Structure 1
Amino acid sequence: MKEDELKEYLKKNREMWNGLASLHVTSKFYDVEGFKKGKTSLTFIERKELGDISGRSLLHLQCHFGLDTMSWAHLGARVTGVDFSEKAIKLAGSIAQDLKIDARFIQSNIYDLPRVLEGQFDIVYTSYGVLCWLPNLTKWGEIISHFLKENGSFYMVEFHPIRAMFDDDGNITEPYFHTEEPIKYEGSGSYADPTADFRHISYEWTHSLGDVVNALVEAGLHIEFLHEFPFSTSGDCPFLVKAKDGLWYHKNKDIKIPLMFSIKARKGYQRIR
């Protein structure tokens, strides 16, 4: 893949996410009004697994318009959110200002972030629908390590790459393993509002679970845990059905596949729990 081609792919993706930011901020899915009244955007998984973050510095990569970032701030973290969409970052800053939340937001492509952001953090965090927008996980791991303090923690909760193999009908149509060239998608609407009058083109990359683990290990991080879950916290795929516990499972109850995973890694050799 040539550099000019990659730049064009990322440009198209940024244009799409600028449009999605405007769409999502008024959607029921994100419920900004509920957030303004005190509702958290975090799920029980990341809150339990990341634990007490009070007083710790947290860098949130690919933060969209910052609700999760600000939710961590409500829990006592000193937060910085980063996203490549200038529209999303502008919205995040506006919401934070309106609610008087102490949060810093920076517009940057992840791969360019070391050029525009100084310092290191206790925690680097990212979540839900982020990996497919990254062409290179090796560099991603290096950037995570770059921004972590010694003995700092990286934590991610994400949709499982196996889930991305299925189409809306639950048939396997996409590859599991990474390919250098992205998959081109043309569509309308959004996971937050499927009926929205918004047409878009995106370019997405597949990454296996092994790719994720190896990128972190090669960057000098030490894996503390890797968890896989047979459920999803959101039901944005038609082949998922909501159960009594409020979580989403494959519509065929006999099929037990991982739909989400979480991973925590630490920079340095000392293990602290």
Structure 2
Amino acid sequence: MNREHMIHTNLLRWNEMTSIHEKSAFYDVAKFKAGACTLKSVELDEIGDVTGKSLLHLQCHFGMDTMSWARRGARVTGIDLSDKAIALARSLNDEMGLDARFLCSDVYDAPAAVGGEKFDIVFTSYGVLCWLPDLDAWARVVSDSLKPGGTFFIAEGHPVENILEWDNEALKVAYPYFDPAPIECASDTSYADRTVKVAHTVTYQWQHSLGRIVGALIGAGLTIESLKEYPFSAYEKYPGYMEQGEDGWWRLKSQEVNVPLLFSIKAAKAK
């Protein structure tokens, strides 16, 4: 299976997901339109004040996080592969009178899509790395998009979370931790609404170890300032076996299981 076919297959899936996600309680577009911030505590605490700063959001989906950064004073650009998602992002942006810029582009073509512009902050989060076949090229995009002294931040599902599945009331290893080969996945619903059946059921995803992620960023010339791991997830990764706290994070119900479900990395480009 060639890479172009796999990426196109994923695009078809995400284009279909966009209309489902727009209507879902998970994304709650109505609440966002009313002024809610979709950003989570991990990125808000780590990135801090963005007033007046330029921010590039890679793999932004339909842009609610991007526009949340705009509401906090950043000059934002969101990029996503899905033309349906970018169209929805632009529509929401215009409806709310915000000044976010949205561009449809493969993440690897982001520097060309923005015309070589450099940013104070490059941001990406929650379910992004599994769609990327080439981490080294991705890390170079991050580095090339930053101004000298600029900050990169990612909050993402932990690689350990991605290899586990619930089986007979226990977490078991279902996928290899170290494996560069693409994984063909099949699902007839979305994480955002498991009641809606989808037509494009197949996706191709890649597993990246934490060391591989860190190594790619270092290899691209970035300095790691912080690496944190957390015992909670941004969504109900294992349906029926997790519960959502008042803080919005999802945790395993079993107190006997203690594995990392999320990580964040903050890195800097040399001045």
Q: Would you say same fold, with TM above 0.5?
A: yes
In structure 1, how many angstroms separate the alpha carbons of the residues matched to 2:82 and 2:237?
22
Partner of 1:264: 266
Matched, 1:211 2:208: no
Partner of 1:227: 228
Compute the RMSD of aligned alpha carbons. 1.3
Q: 1:168 to 1:95 in 2, by over 3 A?
A: farther
Q: TM-score, normalised by structure 2?
A: 0.94
Deviation by residue 1:47-105 (Cα, 9 ceiling, x = unmatched)? 11110011000000000000000000000000000000000000000000000010000
The amino acid across from 1:41 in the alignment is T
In structure 2, how many angstroms separate the alpha carbons of the residues matched to 1:64 and 1:244?
25
Q: Please show how residues 74-223 of structure 1 align to structure 2 within 5 Å.
A: 74-118=71-115, 119-169=117-167, 170-179=171-180, 181-199=181-199, 200-223=201-224
In structure 2, how many angstroms separate the alpha carbons of the residues matched to 1:174 and 1:89?
32
In structure 1, how many angstroms separate the alpha carbons of the residues matched to 2:244 and 2:255?
11
Matched, 1:63 2:60: yes
The amino acid across from 2:66 in the alignment is T
Secondary structure at the counterpart of residue 16 of structure 1: helix
In structure 2, how many angstroms separate the alpha carbons of the residues matched to 1:234 and 1:98?
28
Partner of 1:35: 32
Q: TM-score, normalised by structure 1?
A: 0.94
Secondary structure at the counterpart of residue 15 of structure 2: helix
In structure 2, how many angstroms separate the alpha carbons of the residues matched to 1:111 and 1:233?
25
Q: Which runs of 5+ in 2 are unaligned?
A: none
Secondary structure at the counterpart of residue 257 of structure 1: coil
Q: 1:125 to 1:244 in 2, by over 3 A?
A: closer
CA deviation after TM superposition for structure 1 residue 178, in Å:
3.2
In structure 2, how many angstroms separate the alpha carbons of the residues matched to 1:7 and 1:15?
12
Secondary structure at the counterpart of residue 187 of structure 2: strand
CA deviation after TM superposition for structure 1 residue 257, in Å:
0.7
Native 8 Å contact 2:126 2:234 kept in 1? no
Native 8 Å contact 2:63 2:78 kept in 1? yes
In structure 1, how many angstroms separate the alpha carbons of the residues matched to 2:110 and 2:125?
18
In structure 2, how many angstroms separate the alpha carbons of the residues matched to 1:122 and 1:59?
8
In structure 1, how many angstroms separate the alpha carbons of the residues matched to 2:183 and 2:89?
29
CA deviation after TM superposition for structure 1 residue 245, in Å:
5.1
In structure 2, how many angstroms separate the alpha carbons of the residues matched to 1:132 and 1:246?
23
CA deviation after TM superposition for structure 1 residue 167, in Å:
1.9
The amino acid across from 1:28 in the alignment is A
Q: Which runs of 5+ in 1 are unaligned?
A: none
In structure 2, how many angstroms separate the alpha carbons of the residues matched to 1:178 and 1:77?
38
The amino acid across from 2:257 in the alignment is I
In structure 2, how many angstroms separate the alpha carbons of the residues matched to 1:104 and 1:243?
34
CA deviation after TM superposition for structure 1 residue 22, in Å:
1.1
Aligned match of 2:21 in 16, 19, 24?
24
Q: 1:91 to 1:168 in 2, by over 3 A?
A: farther
Partner of 1:47: 44
